[in-house]
Amino acid sequence: MNILEIKNLEVSVTTIDGNVKILRDVSLSIGENEIVGLVGESGCGKTMTARSIMKLLPENTKIDKGEIFLQGEDIVKKDEREMRKIRGGKVSMIFQEPSSYLNPVFTVGTQIEEAVKGIRDKKERRERVYRILEEVGLERSIYFRYPHQLSGGMQQRVMIGMALINNPLLLIADEPTTALDITTAHMIIELLKKLMNSHRVSILFITHDISLSVYFSHRIAVMYAGKIVEISPSSEIFKNPVHPYTERLIACLPERYRKGEKIKAIEGEVPDFRNLPPGCPFNPRCPYRMKICEEREPEERKVGKSIVRCFKYGNTVEN
């Protein structure tokens, strides 16, 4: 059974221009002990997907349609009281800016203990925190430190420990290495891989870096303009990208160019959600654009080991 299964999710935000769809027909599954990377340019809907799973949407944002099954239960139907039990229990989240989520006036240990406040015995609670600190590669003395006394990498280790202390089924990692230097980022990725195995946790790994996602994930979901346009095994995506957007993302990677060679950026601009082009939203930037691409959006098709939304592979639905 899948740990997470999102079906036909649609989310909109209320603006002065009216309701704007920011997630459109999103479907995605994550199996037991699996890492799925969610990749795309900034503003494409990756973080909103994560917040929808946690039901931590801004006040002007709502789920219009769809289902989000966590271990077979549709959490879209859960009220806030029920969701409080799920957050930090069955599903946890780590963020790209740990300093923004750690309270500067409380010690690290006090903040991690909040996640296990259900344990009444104070000594047992503290021992639990000590153990998780050691698991994420920090000394016990960090318990008594304040966030500002830690480096960015250490703060992110604290956030990982806080997220895993209750052994969740699913960990959502939202750009967890963005604010870190390349060496520290690599260490955090290796730590997550190790903890995934020891805690047997599934991970939704959100990033704009497709290379990092390929290295870390089992499968890659590529998102564009609020819709997943391709899902492929990470072992296949560099060899055989099936969606034109994925192809162009890979072509932009600096490591694919010799020193001094000009990097080829994706032509055009990311579309405004308030004014998406008719048909496939990628069609104005697509080198394979056909007339049908401007007339309607493509349905999902299975192409080899991948699932793709693109008329390049035909205009009929294939199950």
Per residue in 52-77, pLDDT (tens digit) is 999 999 999 999 999 999 999 999 99
The two three-digit tokens of residue 290, written as one number = 């056909």
The H or E element spanning position 66 is strand 61-70
Alpha-carbon distance 39 to 28, whole Å? 13
Q: What sign results for the dihedral spanned by CA atoms 45, 315, 66, 304?
A: negative
Range 74-85 average pLDDT: 94
Instruction: Quickly count: other Cβ atoms within 10 Å of residue 81's Cβ.
Output: 7
Q: What is the pLDDT of residue 318?
A: 45
Residue with tokens 């899902």: 231
Q: Which residues lie closer than 8 Å to 279 by C-beta, 6 or more apart?
A: 292, 293, 294, 295, 296, 297
What does DSSP say about strands 91-94 and 73-74: parallel, antiparallel, or unpaired? unpaired
Q: What is the pLDDT of residue 315?
A: 62
The H or E element spanning position 308 is strand 306-309
pLDDT surpasses 70 at 319: no
Length of the chain equals 319
Alpha-carbon distance 294 to 277, whole Å? 8
Q: Would you tell me which CATH number, out of the four given (3.20.10.10, 3.90.1200.10, 3.40.50.300, 3.40.50.620), belongs to the domain 4-90+168-313?
A: 3.40.50.300
Give me the amino acid identity at 295. E
CB 1 within 8 A of CB 198: no
What does DSSP say about strands 227-233 and 219-224: parallel, antiparallel, or unpaired? antiparallel
Alpha-carbon distance 134 to 136, whole Å? 5
The two three-digit tokens of residue 285, written as one number = 């930037």
Q: What is the pLDDT of residue 317?
A: 45
Q: What is the pLDDT of residue 194?
A: 93
Alpha-carbon distance 276 to 44, whole Å? 12
Flag whether the pTM goes above 0.85: yes
CB 214 within 8 A of CB 182: no
Helices (H), the chain: 46-54, 80-86, 98-101, 108-113, 122-135, 152-164, 182-199, 210-216, 234-237, 244-251
Alpha-carbon distance 37 to 174, whole Å? 10
Residues paired with residue 241 on neighbouring β-strands, in sequence order: none
Query: What is the domain partition of the chain in residue ranges?
Result: 4-90+168-313
Alpha-carbon distance 223 to 272, whole Å? 15
Per residue in 113-168, pLDDT (tens digit) is 998 888 878 899 999 999 999 999 999 999 999 999 999 999 999 999 999 999 99
